[in-house]
Amino acid sequence: MTDTPPADTTVLLVDDREENLFALSAILEPAGYKLLLARSGEEALKQLLANDVSVILLDVRMPGMDGYETARHVKQRERTSDIPIVFLTAESAEADGVLQAFSAGAVDFVTKPFEPWSLRAKVQVFADLAHKTRLLREQSELLRHQLDIQYAAETRHLRKLADAAVAINSTLSLDEMLRQLTESAREVIDTHEAETIITVEADVGLEARSRSTSAKYDAWAASEHDDSLDAMYASVIERRVPVRMANKDIAETLGARGVHGVASNHPLLQGWLAVPLIGRTGNALGLIQVADKVDGDFTDQDELVLVQLAQLAAVAIENARRYHQEHAVAHTLQRSMLPDTLPVVDGVDLAARYRAGSAGTEVGGDWYDAIELDDGRLMLVVGDVVGRGASAAAVMGQLRTGLRAYALQHFPITVLMRSLDRLLQELGKGMLATAICVVVGPSRRHLEVISAGHPPPLVLAADGTASYVACDAHTPLGILEAPVYAATTLTLAEGATLALYTDGLVEGRHRSLSEGMQKLALSASRHPAADVESLADAVLEEVVGAETGDDVALLVARLR
């Protein structure tokens, strides 16, 4: 208990008699309390609406609303329910009266006359209690507010981490993943600069570094700077532990690590946090570092969040590395099953392109071939085994080998296609394939064409007119038990160009086959004078762009 009341101590005196209010004021004023006077229960409740009160001295017997009813109203209000109420009465403290007082919410019951010192002591005890209760409530509110701020920050961090995980895993392109990771690190930690450094990707051609800066460092990022922080980075990567430094500690740390000559406008000098990228087996993949936090120094929470981001990123990077390597192996295997070179044929210029699809790492079933026969004819073939993986690749290889054998035996084109169909059915039940076969006669103008469920060849005239060969419709290979094929014959003008292709060139997830064929014809018509190599490159670039979800095989022949 204190000798002087706290500055915020207010006592409400409630009595219907002026002399009693005067007497109570005379006792309590010297103690330094702020006093409020009320001459009825109704007036007391109005005072409580406008003032913060520490203690209430309440007369029991008042006309109208008595003390018991007034106390019950006080206790029913949330704002005033904790205020201590001391009942004052001129009657003797009988058991029923005391019980009724405490039932109404009183903390003490004082009978008149009372000793001034005793009343002051009671008021001081309850005033101190009210003051401490108020302080505890304020501290609780402050703590709750701080916890709310902390929980909100943690929620924002978790949301940003979730968004970063989606962004990082939205691509299997390693350089794009690196860019997304760096942008996410700067945004999640809220810094002016971030950088991701990968140290193990030389074998797959990944960019070693990716940097992201705010407008504050745009000029710095665009300038030539030779700052070598390899020693700083090495300490993080080799020790596999995070490093966090405030700006006041950095200059001394740089010197201790033998790093000198760092530009005065380098973001690292404003505070630095770096965490290693650790693979599943504990191998170091590199690091993520952020510098110059927007608000204050880096905290334990920042370090924890960046470590979590690095863990997400390490898994994604390893998955992307594995995908990249498997895709490269699949592409190499696919290329090994295609012709190493095209034959040099009198009167025909040949070019071929194969592009592996980006949708997966398995080998596809697309293939092409050009076979020069000893009677002066030239056979051009493009095929597509339905499906992906080792089984599709194996079937593709056997079909190509079988077709070459049939061609060298001078099978007529109709017999050749029927034999190819029989071979496919013997290779495996349920296997399907499409194929287009074109035999170019010795004159280089007369053609025989058979399509087994395959898109028709494109003919590009010397004047740029592009059209498709109207082939007889036949089912894909592997469907009918004994299919019969009829050849379509046609004669082309001198200098015409023929393009055979698989459906990956003209059909896609967001484009129908007819739309793709229109786009192919338009593209070819733009380059009638281009050599076949340039024409093949232009068509690939304009029709499918940089990436395609499916494999693409393209065979171009210009008949001279």
Nearest to 241 by CA among 196, 211, 200, 276: 276
Backbone φ, ψ for residue 71 (5° rounding):
-60, -40
Q: What 3 state SS string does 140-202 have?
A: HHHHHHHHHHHHHHHHHHHHHHHHHHHHHCCCCCHHHHHHHHHHHHHHHHCEEEEEEEECCCH
Identify the pLDDT of residue 548.
66
Query: Could you tell me the CA-to-CA distances from 291 to 159, 230, 246, 260, 502 in Å, in that order?
Result: 22, 16, 10, 18, 51
Instruction: Of 189, 195, 188, give the one whose Cα is nearest residue 161.
Output: 188
pLDDT of residue 250: 82
CA 33 to mean position of chain CA atoms: 62
HSE-CB at 329 with a 13 A cutoff on CA atoms is 10
How many whole angstroms separate alpha carbon 435 and alpha carbon 25?
A: 110
DSSP 477: B
Q: Which residues of 238-277 are buried (b: 16+ CB within 10 A; e: fewer)?
A: eeeebbbbebeebeeebeeeebeebeeebbbbbbbbbbbb
In this structure, the number of other CB atoms found within 10 A of the CB of residue 145 comes to 10
Distance CA 400, CA 369 (A): 8
Q: Count of CB atoms within 10 A of residue 324's CB?
A: 19
SS3 372: strand
Question: Which 3 state secondary structure label does DSSP give 293?
Answer: strand
CA 39 to chain centroid, in Å, comes to: 68
pLDDT on residue 397? 84
54: nearest Cα among 72, 32, 80, 73 = 80
Please state, in angstroms and rounded to a whole number, the distance separating the CA atoms of residues 276 and 348. 58
Q: Which of 461, 447, 539 is nearest to 502 (CA)?
A: 539
Residue 86: which H helix or E strand, with range? strand 85-89
Question: Could you tell me if 195 and 211 are in contact, meaning their C-beta atoms sit under 8 angstroms apart?
Answer: yes
Q: Beta-carbon neighbour count of residue 477 at 10 Å?
A: 27
Question: What is the 3 state secondary structure string of 15-82?
Answer: CCCHHHHHHHHHHHHHHCCEEEEECCHHHHHHHHHHCCCCEEEEECCCCCCCHHHHHHHHHHCCCCCC
- Both tokens of residue 191? 């810094």
pLDDT in tens, the chain (560 residues): 455 666 668 999 999 999 999 999 999 988 888 999 999 999 999 999 989 898 999 998 899 899 899 999 999 988 888 889 998 887 655 556 677 777 877 888 887 777 888 888 888 888 888 778 778 878 878 888 777 666 666 666 667 666 766 767 666 667 777 888 888 888 888 999 999 888 864 444 444 678 899 999 988 888 766 567 777 888 888 888 899 988 888 877 777 777 777 777 888 889 999 999 998 888 888 899 999 999 889 999 889 889 988 888 888 888 777 776 666 666 666 666 778 889 999 999 999 998 877 555 456 678 899 999 988 999 999 999 887 666 777 788 889 899 999 999 999 999 999 999 999 998 876 789 999 999 999 999 999 999 999 999 999 999 999 999 998 889 999 999 889 999 999 999 989 999 999 999 998 777 888 999 999 999 999 999 899 999 999 999 999 886 666 789 999 999 98
| Residues 331 and 356 sit within 8 Å (Cβ to Cβ) | yes
Token digits of residue 10: 């207010």
Q: Where are the alpha helices (DSSP H) in 434-547?
A: 513-525, 532-543
Q: In whole angstroms, what is the distance from residue 555 CA to residue 525 CA?
A: 16
Cβ neighbours of residue 438 under 8 Å, at least 6 residues apart?
Answer: 379, 380, 381, 447, 448, 449, 457, 498, 500
Residue pair 284/199 in contact (Cβ under 8 Å)? The answer is yes
Determine the distance from the C-alpha atom of residue 201 to the mean position of all C-alpha atoms in its chain, rounded to a whole number: 22
